[in-house]
Amino acid sequence: MSETSTSRATASRIEPHVWRIVIVVVLGMIMSVLDTTIVNVALDDLSRELHTSLTDIQWVATGYLLALAAVIPISGWAATRFGSRRLYLISLVLFTLGSALCGFAWSSGSLIAFRVLQGVGGGMLAPIGQMILVRAAGPRNLPKIMSAIGVPVILAPVFGPTLGGLLLEHAGWKWIFFVNIPIGVAAVSAALRLLPHDQAQKEKAGSLDAIGLALLSTGLIAVTYGLAQSGSAGTFFAGKVLVPFLLGVALVTAFVLRALRIPNPLLNVRLYANRAFAAASLTTFCLGAALFGAMILMPLYFQTVRGEDAVHTGLLLIPQGVGAAFAMGLSGRATERWGGGMTALGGGIVTVVTTIPFVLLGGATSYWLIGLAMVLRGFGIGMSMMPSMTAAFTVLRPDEISHATPQLTVLQRVGGSIGTAILAVVLQGQIRSAGGPSASADALAGAFGTAYVWVLGVTVVALLPTILLTMVERRARAAHQEHPVAAEALIEAAA
């Protein structure tokens, strides 16, 4: 091996301390993402056990989402002001404490309050954890690291319903919350020992943009609340959906306009002037809608059309997790070789093609065929989600990471919320047109097929920004071969 090859291999080797940080961050993300999907399958049991209506108990899920929306925007400023390590530890403790209190809840009101506490901690786990990792890994190793932390994001929605069903059947509803306690204790212990110490930078953080926080957090809460109401309303155009949604959009717009005029806004929205970052961000938003929105369809198909219970439904969803896990192992290397844009584009194309079989679902479609399609679709999703986020981070300066991470997290979650809301409304309308829940299996399966047509459309839209991202990265690589010093300047000049 030549000296140059040896130096390159040494430079690309990920240091052991970085992998230890990955373990801590993944533990936190597993708790945050897994908890959402576990609770969703338990709402009916919670309604019976706590003697309240299903409409009221929905706030157990909605309250958690609203708390996430409220705290994510402040995570960048708070990480700079108080230090990333300290804030991550506080988030872990809050989430674990909230989980324990949820397990001891004595009424629907107390459970909802404790879920909000969980959401405050859980909302900061993902963005703060990603900030720590991006800084520790460096640009060269970022693709491998991002593919590793993408595992809980992709797999938790797949395995969450299975774990939730097993806990409900064999241990009771309290254990869907108590299960987080040992993970939380392990994560806090690991964080104390493994996370690097960083200094709070009070001067750099400056004073809190309180007006910006009020506009953005209230806007995101209103958008999330409106979308959450669409499921019970049965239409996206009901007043209780549109009024908060449009109010939220107006508040977020006011935040953006204000942030462009003041020197130190809560979040630096000028990052979107960089075409590569803007393209990667739009891809993240659309893929969030396609991934998390579609997550509600197959469980409902198995339960509504095929009559499966929660545990068997979870087991039938495993093939998608297998495909995604396999893709995660490849996406880091593919991103290093071809770039995040090209990798995300390839994964998006696979996702589009492998969504087509779900458009053709019937009432008696072979489970083997469904499983094969889910493996391939999971592979496409795994190859597209994290490479697009990796590309977004690689075009930024280190001081911009604390602004970019919360924005990407918000885009992914809002995209998922919008996708879920739209698909829930489409599916309900199609089921009514088919004759309601008592319709034939083939008629109900046709309703799900129509909903997947919408998934297909959203995924096609997600391909468009990946094409722009691929072009920007190719220009940067060509410049790097001709003049290495000019490469980063070209990326920053992509606006």
pLDDT one-digit tens code per residue, 182-240: 988 988 998 888 888 777 666 666 778 889 889 988 988 888 888 877 766 667 777 88
Mean pLDDT of all residues in 247-268 = 89
Res. 477: pLDDT tops 70: no
CATH 1.20.1250.20 assigned to 271-495: yes
pLDDT band at 272 (very low <50, low <70, confident <90, very high): confident
pLDDT score, position 203: 63
In the chain, what percentage of residues exceed pLDDT 70?
A: 85
Rounded average pLDDT over 77-100: 89
- Decide if pLDDT at 127 tops 60: yes
For the segment 157-177, what is each residue's pLDDT rounded down to a tens digit? 667 777 877 888 788 888 889
Say what the pLDDT of residue 257 is: 92
Q: Which residue has the higher pLDDT, 412 or 147?
A: 412
The rounded mean pLDDT for the chain is 80
Residue 9's pLDDT is 44
Q: Which among 109, 97, 103 is positioned nearest to 39, based on CA atoms?
A: 103
Prediction pTM value: 0.76
Structurally, at CATH architecture level, domain 12-206 sits in: Up-down Bundle (1.20)
Evaluate if residue 97 carries a pLDDT over 90.
Answer: yes
Closest CA to 391 of 467, 289, 326, 479: 467
